[in-house]
Amino acid sequence: MNPQTAITHNPHDYHPVINLVLDGLTSQHSKRAYKKSLIDFLAWHETEGNPGLNKAVVQRYKSRLIEANISHAVINQRMAAIRKLAQEALDNGLINQTIGSGIANVKGVKAQGVRAGNWLTKEQAQELINAPDSTTLKGLRDRAILAVMLGAGLRRSEVAALSFEQIQQREARWVILDLVGKGGRVRTVPIPCWTKAAIDHWSEAAGIHSGLVFRRIRKGGSLAGDSMTSQAIYNALQEYAAPLGIKIAPHDCRRTFARLAYKGKAPIEQIQHSLGHASIKTTEIYLGAIQNLTDAPCDHLGIRLD
């Protein structure tokens, strides 16, 4: 395949090129995000008349995204996917070094300020944990799912892939051992006793003690035996959060874990290890440590309405 024809095929022929990128990723979440980013880019590329892949074309695409008021996070994700595409194309002889290096130098956009995250208070987290009906098999499973998300700060994909074999004792406490997270980083995550108890209650009721921890349950309430998807984990969270008036996504449980641990005096570097962040700056964002919305500057103005 020559450099100019690598991405100038009919849209139906884009998949082999996209697979060059996807084959180099380990996370299913990253694969889905990169695939969508590249399909969108290549669709735009076709509307532009299929010009050759180069730095100027990628910069023009970034400018169009900015003009369309696409969020900084989405733009940066798309730029990362395109840079990965260029790297794979270079490695496979589809473009030359000059073009590859040029595209690699197209950076994302800088966010101005810090976006407010969404965190639960300790009282809301407690209410959410106790929302499932613990007299039913589904309720016990869902309570254990929530306990893992809030008690260990796992991503929903990590919850879906969690196995009993990973839950072991180290230094007289229970941990999730050798958890493979984003970017292939491996970490060991300590879990509180109430998270372990929730898993045990579910395990005993379901009669399962090996393999995947969380399984699908049929509408009649019996165990189906197969795995849960990341989407099913999301749905389980929403089922209990919505009636409580809590608007929360699975990643907000991760943020809540970080903030509640920090407020409880846990060292920030230990929170970083539990979350598996490569940079402590990412952990600081999860904590919302830069902006204090509980004791904000506006609370100290001393102004009142009559």
- In CATH, what number is assigned to the domain containing residue 54? 1.10.150
For residue 162, give the DSSP letter.
-
pLDDT number for residue 301:
65
User: Domain limits at 265?
Assistant: 122-287
- Distances in Å between the Cα of 213 and the Cα atoms of 12, 84, 185, 207, 238 are 39, 34, 21, 11, 20
Residue 49's pLDDT band (cuts 50, 70, 90):
confident
Q: What is the pTM of this model?
A: 0.66
Looking at residues 186-205, what average pLDDT do you find?
Answer: 95
Of 296, 287, 299, 269, nearest in space to 119 by CA? 287
Q: Are residues 73 and 100 in the same domain?
A: yes
Q: Are residues 150 and 249 in the same domain?
A: yes
Q: Are 21 and 84 in contact (CB under 8 A)?
A: yes
Q: What is the pLDDT of residues 203-250, one digit of tens each?
A: 999 999 999 999 999 988 889 878 899 999 999 999 999 999 998 889
Q: Are 264 and 170 in contact (CB under 8 A)?
A: no
For residue 242, give the DSSP letter.
G
Structure-block tokens of residue 92: 């496979």
Q: What are phi and psi of 175, to 5 degrees?
A: -140, 160
How many domains are contained in the chain? 2
Whether residue 296 is contained in a domain is answered as no
Looking at residues 56-74, what average pLDDT do you find?
Answer: 90
Whether residue 37 is contained in a domain is answered as yes
Q: Are residues 16 and 91 in the same domain?
A: yes
Whether residue 2 is contained in a domain is answered as no
